Structure 1
Amino acid sequence: MTAAEISRIAGVTRATVSNWRRRHGDFPAPSGGTDSSPLYDLEEVRGWLASRGQHTAATPSGELRTLLRLREPAGVGTSDLLLLVLAAARRPAELTGLLALADADLVKQANDAAAEVADVVPDTEPVRFTTADTAVLRALLLCVRDEGAQTALSVLAERELEDSAASGAYRTPEPLANLLALLLPGTPARVLDPACGSGALLAAAARRGARELYGQDALPVQARRSAVSLLLAAPEAAVTVRAGDSLRTDAFPGLAADAVLCNPPYGDRDWGHDELAYDPRWAYGVPPRAEPELAWAQHALAHLTPGGHSVLLLPPAVASRASGRRVRAELVRGGALRAVIALPPGASVPLHIGLQIWVLQRPEPGGPERKSVLFVDTASDAASGTGPGAATGTAAGTASGTAPGTAPAAGRGGTAPASHTRSGSRSATVDWARITERALGAWRAFTESPDTFEGEPGVAHAAGVLDLLDDQVDLTPARLVRASRAGLAPAALAAETGAARRHLAEAAKSLARTAGYEDWSPAGATAREWRTATASDLARGGALTLLRTAPDAARGRTDSGTGGSGGTGAPEARPVLTAPDIAAGSGPTGDPAGLRGGATAPVIATGDVLVRAVAGGGGPMARVAGEEDAGALLGPHVHLFRPDPARLDAWFLAGFLGAEENIAGASTGSTVLAVNPGRLRVPLLPLEEQRRYGEAFRHVHELRAEARRADRLAEETARLLSGGLTGGQLLPGGGPSRGRDTTAGDVPHKTRSRGSQSAR
């Protein structure tokens, strides 16, 4: 094991381990590795720690992760352990007794239990646990007992994916999986996911009442993981999962499902274009080589019963690429495409791209004619930061902008490049409640009465089939719903614009009041000089406590499902406060699924000072946690300073910790500037003087918040005014009277006569 792993199991820093090596002659000698990266024997290290009364601080999932890293290549197989997770989850009352067994008895019980469930997990080898595997077996059973089967499952899948060429697998975020499942009308009983990944979409379908779940994935580890996960999450459903490439080797050729849910791999040009050129699934045209997503869309339609629905998550380029125009046209003309819903960037990997949801329906012979397609843009408010949330001064969301073109290529089975999965700090603030409300509201109203659906200008619009079948067949929702605003009545737009202007005026007055704070005075002829201490010094003196989420929470390439989080209770029930939340001034918006099971995520309390761990970008570097933040988990890339209120004022601390020159002095790196929290410096002042500074810093915080709110409202007001002028609903002040039809070349008679006389 490495020095980093020793620090993790001992619950100390790596610097402490280095000190142990230098100061204690009986510290275990390296058993391998190099001089710069030595490796140590796990049992020797544990014995040394025990001799010093240093008990392990690793969580059960962390212990399991360490033992899996140390196992020999010819040791216990992950497939066997996946089976054991399932068997152990079905016998929760027996786990404590199993852990107390002797090694030989434990191995026999584990072999028997795993063999009993071997037939339900695809591509597993015969179970052959030996006494050499007992350490891993005990760690696994302890993890299932104390942190849950899903946590153990994620650790196992994570380990096998690290050894796979297709790294970077990720789980579809649970709110997004739920939205895709909710878009299925009724309660479909039989649901298929042909690129099931970790099984998140099928689990969401099971929560909707599906009783037959079918999944296939090209990565065997993902197929096995999905099978076990679904058997745990939906014990009453019939689960069938197979490994293999669904496009090339369909495991369910005769299956007619009530619904298909799918988050297929994007941008994969090696999807079998040449060998599948004459495949009968291409009822709407042969997908071009550069359009694998249209192959997945037709594969889904081929597996539906007549009238059944499919919901797919696709990159935005599928709606507009020239190469896919003919297939898009046939999907629209044939009535198979029912809706396209745009999501804001940050909703799912790749985080920098606003993905789209396509809702398809297999036409019924003799069924109704489909005259229109629904388009919804849920990204409009999230991208601009406007809407009701902005009017009340809360951030509806931030986004980095939608990149044109195709999303980066992803591996089979719902995988994506690891560089994207590690970009949690770039994730936009996503208001899932608002997105879900808008998407479902428009979809349900449209399905109830497609011919009379009126939509919502700027958000939802039902476009006629004939209007879509032009030279481009561009199905981008933002283009179509923005164009639909021209149909809004002038009086309605004028009322909306008037309300926006009133909100802006109120925000401007509030900003002026905040900016008018006059309790500032010059320090004298020269700037005040400070006697300072570092945050490390203050922590050693007990004036504050410095906390941060363990690195395991941010380093993984797979999600943790619903794994536990080192002493934080149930992380799935808590939001996560992220670095972008601090920069945007929003409440906690992070996904708890992004915290791995072995992570130690502190729970935020009112009065904590939160500092972004990476310098740069827009927005403040620090803030004081308010009541809306209390109870949230601390996300990765955020430092938490918990001051002793009898010695440090929170606002005073936040103001100086987040100062530009302080951050610069405590940062290291060239491209990415990482903030060393212990090096941040704080002036040593009496508490009463700290409070005076703290009050001033609080006013600065309010000024920044009011400025953000006014900026959002100004953008929204300008957008409404500009759209009303160009759309013909609003007239400029001082212009021709209402109702007069004049053009740039039509000049009133009297004005023209006076002009002629002047010319003469």
Structure 2
Amino acid sequence: MRPTAVSNWRRRHSDFPAPVGGTEKSPRFSLDEVREWLAGQGRAVDVGSKRALEQAVNTAAVLAPAAETLRNALLALLNHAGDDRADEHGWRQRLQAGTEKLAKAYPGLADANAVPDLHATQTTMLNAALEAVADRSVRDLARDLYDEILTRRLVKGDTATPARLADLMVRLADPGDGPFVDIACGAGSILMAAARHGCRDVAGIETTLARAQLAALRISAEGFKPPVRLRLHASNALATDPFGPGTAAAVATNPPFNDRNWAQEIREDEPWWTYGVPTGKDSELAWVQRALAQLRPGGTAVLAMPPGSAASPSGRRIRRRMLSDGVLRAVFALPRGSFHGTALAPHLWLLTNTAGPSVAQAVLTADFSDHTTRAQQPDWDRIAEATLQAWTAFKNGNEPPSGESRATPVTTLLGDAVDLTPARYLPLRLPAPDFRRLGRLKRETAAKVDVLGDSLKQAPGAQPELTGPVRWETFETLAQNAEISLHRGLPAERKPNQGETTVRTVRADSRNLAGEAAIEPGQHVPRIREGDLLAAVYGERIWVRQATEDDLDAAPAFGTVVIRTDPRQIDPAFLAGFLASALAHQQLARASTSLGVNSYRDLLRLRVALPSIKDQHRYAGLFTSLEALATEATSLARQTDQLTRAWRDDTWAAIVGTDADE
């Protein structure tokens, strides 16, 4: 349901249900109450059981921690499929029985507190779960709810481990049959990756009880065959060792980053401080030592680390001791966006419990931070292939592939800063001079210069003259009068579920960046037609372009709005000229609060000056010429940049050679 529709219903109907949460400007409503009210108005709607569950979980997670909310949903899915709906009291009893059942199965979760009284939003969610499980498997619902909801509702400082990263970490750790331990397992993503990798003895430690319970439920919902021996413990791994030292064949973990309070209630005589107690600024180095203590001799640990841990002055002493002892074997730099919940470009540290000064004479340093897709997202296929190829070569005593990875001598790393940042130790390389390519780029640039010059000569000279009055209207009024219609983009892209199809999506700010979005059966999908405009608001800027032949029949992507005009009253090219002007941008700067997600609302506020349709046609010709001129100028700028970069690099390659290191 669109927020504008709910806003209109609240304004026009005094009996509309009251909010159950949120804020005054962004209230949340009970889906059950709204659907019941709509049915009473003769407007019954069917949003689909899966969508209803997602919306219900989203609403419930506003008033309770996301992990706790999702834990409750999975308890309902796993234990009560086929049961009747229940009220708050009934569900509280069911959930209490479910958590007690978990405690019996996993003694490390036995400290479960009584389930608190449930808010109405939780009851709505739990009843929605019963309806959803009738249409889809528990496994698919559990996957969707975690991927679509929990990763979007992270507490500040939290990170969630994407499935592809978890898989890579497990493959590097190579646990075999196990035991495999994640000492900060969160909701269990890395444990699940280990089970998918064939490990049947997995164990996790997690400080937050609800997350530890959620990990158990997610693994249960996955239904691994043969079954996984799972041990879980709700405790702080830096203060306890529930599984005993030296018991893990492999450890992989994504520990909390930048936790300045990590040392509270932590004893300085714990056996894992082999290389010294870290400072309050270096919680990550505490987790590194804790992981090493969990390993049996010869075991491997892989940890996700913030890039600052590789070079922080306060951690220099511990890094030096680990290097001298030979336990640190590899550092991999990953792209930004590798984690949910942080913009950091993280590292992976690989360590082995084979200490001794003569064990490791070198450390593998590899930088894959530029392995991204055209959408600037991590290219996991390329990252995994490069990482595993480099590590396999290095551990077998061979030289890793050059350029992106290197066997860096420990003596080099033991400099004054003890800086482990991989990029510092990789060679500077330039492509060999290619004079044929340079000649081709010169010819292509000259041709674009000629095209731009011709366009300037052919551009209209004098301004068209108005032949009649001008009226001012807001886009909202134009939409109410059916002179234009606005169509929102689809929700954020995601992988299709069973029974769903995909549709190609396009964006207002790029002609070349297409995507795909999953659509549910019966979901309305706005399709782009000839003459449509594509618009999006980012900050105080409006991106607008006319639909091209390649855009036709695609759907607008998230954040993009399709503007469709009645050509008898409004010329789309004229309207595009307004949206690209300072007149529109100044209005936007005064009123917009958008970062790209409220484009629809921002556009409705704009006021446009409209002459007669005949005058619009004349001005539209000018605006179309200017847009073509701007497109050609942008193309020339890109071409010139490519030429000058190639020319400059070829010159430096001639000066210093292709291997630019001293």
Shorter-chain TM range is 0.7 to 0.9
1:652–1:473: structure 2 CA closer, same or farther, 3 Å change rule? Answer: farther
Corresponding residue for residue 750 of structure 1: none
In structure 1, give the amino acid aligned to 2:535: V
Structure 2 Cα separation of the partners of residues 510 and 449 of structure 1: 52
Q: Is residue 634 of structure 1 aligned with residue 582 of structure 2?
A: no
2:533, 2:562 within 8 Å by CA — same for their partners in 1?
yes
Amino acid in structure 2 at the alignment position of 1:327: I
The equivalent residue for 2:406 is: 461
Q: Which amino acid aligns with 2:222?
A: A
- The match for 1:403 is none
2:286 to 295, 298, 311: 295
- Inter-partner Cα distance in structure 2 for 1:273 and 1:127: 28
Structure 1 residue identity aligned to 2:605: R
Q: Which amino acid aligns with 1:707?
A: A
Map 1:612-651 onto structure 2 (within 5 A): 612-616=536-540, 620=543, 624=547, 634-635=557-558, 638-641=559-562, 643=564
Q: CA separation in 1, counterparts of 2:451 and 2:291?
A: 56
Per-residue deviation at 1:649? 8.7
Q: Does 1:219 align with 2:208?
A: yes
What is the letter of the counterpart of residue 661 of structure 1? L
Q: Following TM superposition, by how much is the alpha carbon of 1:441 offset from its aligned partner in structure 2, in angstroms?
A: 3.5
2:500 corresponding residue in structure 1: 569
- Pick from 192, 198, 209 the counterpart of residue 209 of structure 1: 198
2:586 corresponds in structure 1 to: 664
| Superposition deviation, residue 464 in structure 1 | 1.2
Determine whether 1:443 maps to 2:443.
Answer: no
Cα shift at 1:29: 8.4
Counterpart pick for 1:707 among 603, 628, 637: 637
Change beyond 3 A, Cα 1:178–1:38: closer
Q: Partners of 1:626 and 1:568 in 2: how far apart?
A: 30
The Cα shift of 1:337 comes to 1.6
Aligned counterpart in structure 1 of residue 452 of structure 2, from 507, 515, 521: 515
Alpha-carbon contact 1:161-1:221 (below 8 Å) kept: no
Identity of aligned residues (%): 27
Cα-to-partner distance string for 1:399-431 (whole Å, 9 max, x where unaligned): xxxxxxxxxxxxxxxxxxxxxxxxxxxxx5444
**Given the alignment, which residue of 243, 250, 273 partners 1:252?**
243
1:73-222 pair list within 5 angstroms: 81-87=73-79, 95=81, 97-99=82-84, 119-120=104-105, 122=109, 123-124=111-112, 135-146=124-135, 148-150=140-142, 154=146, 169-185=158-174, 187=176, 189-222=178-211
CA contact (8 A) 1:83 1:228 kept: yes
Query: 1:40-79 to 2 correspondence within 5 Å?
Result: 47-56=36-45, 59-62=51-54, 64-65=56-57, 68=60
Say if 2:74 and 2:217, in contact at 8 Å, map to a contact too.
yes
Instruction: Trace 1:322-361 onto structure 2 (pairs within 5 A).
Output: 322-348=313-339, 351-361=342-352
What is the deviation of 1:296? 1.0
Following TM superposition, by how much is the alpha carbon of 1:341 offset from its aligned partner in structure 2, in angstroms?
A: 1.6
What is the identity, as a one-letter code, of the residue corresponding to 1:267? Answer: N
Which of 460, 483, 495 is the aligned partner of 2:432?
A: 495
TM alignment of 1:230-629, pairs within 5 A: 230-233=219-222, 235-236=224-225, 237-254=228-245, 256-272=247-263, 275-348=266-339, 351-363=342-354, 369-380=359-370, 396=374, 429-450=377-398, 452-453=399-400, 455-457=401-403, 459-481=404-426, 484-485=427-428, 493=430, 495=432, 498=435, 501=438, 504-505=441-442, 508-509=445-446, 511-512=448-449, 515-516=452-453, 518=455, 520-525=458-463, 535-536=475-476, 539-540=479-480, 541=482, 543-548=484-489, 569=500, 587=513, 609-616=533-540, 620=543, 624=547
CA distance in 2 between counterparts of 1:351 and 1:709 reads 34
Q: 1:718 to 1:340 in 2, by over 3 A?
A: farther
Partners of 1:247 and 1:299 within 8 A in 2: yes
- TM score, norm. by length of structure 1: 0.67
- TM-align CA RMSD: 5.3
Provide the residue aligned with 1:734 in structure 2: none
Q: State the AA in 2 paired with 1:546.
A: H
Aligned partner letter, 2:402: E
Contact 2:309 2:315 in 1 (8 A): yes
In 1, Cα distance between equivalents of 2:640 and 2:371: 15
**Contact (CA 8 Å) 1:98, 1:106: kept in 2 or not?**
no
Taking a change above 3 Å as real, the CA distance of residues 574 and 315 of structure 1, as seen in their structure-2 partners, is farther
Contact 2:361 2:410 in 1 (8 A): yes
The 1-side partners of 2:447 and 2:335 are apart by 30
Q: Corresponding residue for 1:405?
A: none
5+ residue gaps, structure 2, are: none
Instruction: Report if the CA contact (8 A) 2:166-2:193 is conserved.
Output: yes
* Cα displacement (A) at 1:655: 5.8
- State whether residues 189 and 212 of structure 1, in contact with CA within 8 Å, keep that contact through their aligned partners in structure 2: yes
Measure, in 2, the Cα distance between the counterparts of 1:174 and 1:655: 45
- Contact 2:311 2:418 (8 Å CA) reproduced: yes
Give the whole-Å Cα distance in 2 for the aligned partners of 1:208 and 1:729: 40
Tell me the matched-pair count.
630
CA distance in 2, matches of 1:667, 1:473: 48
What displacement does 1:116 show?
Answer: 5.8
Equivalent residue letter for 2:536: R
- For the 8 Å contact 2:58–2:149, the answer to whether it is kept is no
Aligned partner letter, 1:372: A
Shift in alpha-carbon separation, 1:713–1:20, aligned structure 2, 3 A: farther
* Distance in structure 1 (CA, Å) of the matches to 2:34 and 2:251: 51
Contact 2:336–2:344, Cα closer than 8 Å, also in 1: yes
Higher relative contact order (CA 8 A, sep 6+): 1
Contact 1:568-1:601 within 8 A present in 2 as well: no
Structure 1 residue 313, shift from structure 2 partner:
1.5
In structure 1, the residue corresponding to 2:290 is in which secondary structure? Answer: helix
Moved more, 583-592 or 268-277: 583-592
Matched letter for residue 60 of structure 1: A
Matching residue of 2:603: 677
Alignment partners' CA distance in 2, 1:284 and 1:18:
62
Distance (Å, rounded) in 1 between the aligned partners of 2:148 and 2:117: 16
Letter of the 2:367 partner, please give it: D
2: CA distance, partners of 1:350 / 1:38: 24
1:233-253 Cα distance to aligned partner (Å, 9 max, x none) = 352333333222111123323
Distance 1:325 1:432, change over 3 A: same
| Alignment deviations for residues 288-332 of structure 1 (CA, whole Å, 9 cap, x no partner) | 332211111121122223333222211111111122222212222
Q: State the shift of 1:641 in Å.
A: 0.7
SS across alignment from 1:522: coil
Residue 30 and residue 218 in structure 1: after superposition, are their counterparts in 2 closer, same or farther (change >3 A)?
Answer: closer
SS at match of 1:587: strand
SS at match of 1:246: coil
DSSP 3-state at the match of 1:141:
helix
CA change 1:582–1:42 in 2 (3 A) is: closer
Could you tell me the TM-score, scaled by structure 2's length? 0.75
Q: Secondary structure at the match of 2:142?
A: helix
How far is 1:197 from its partner? 1.9
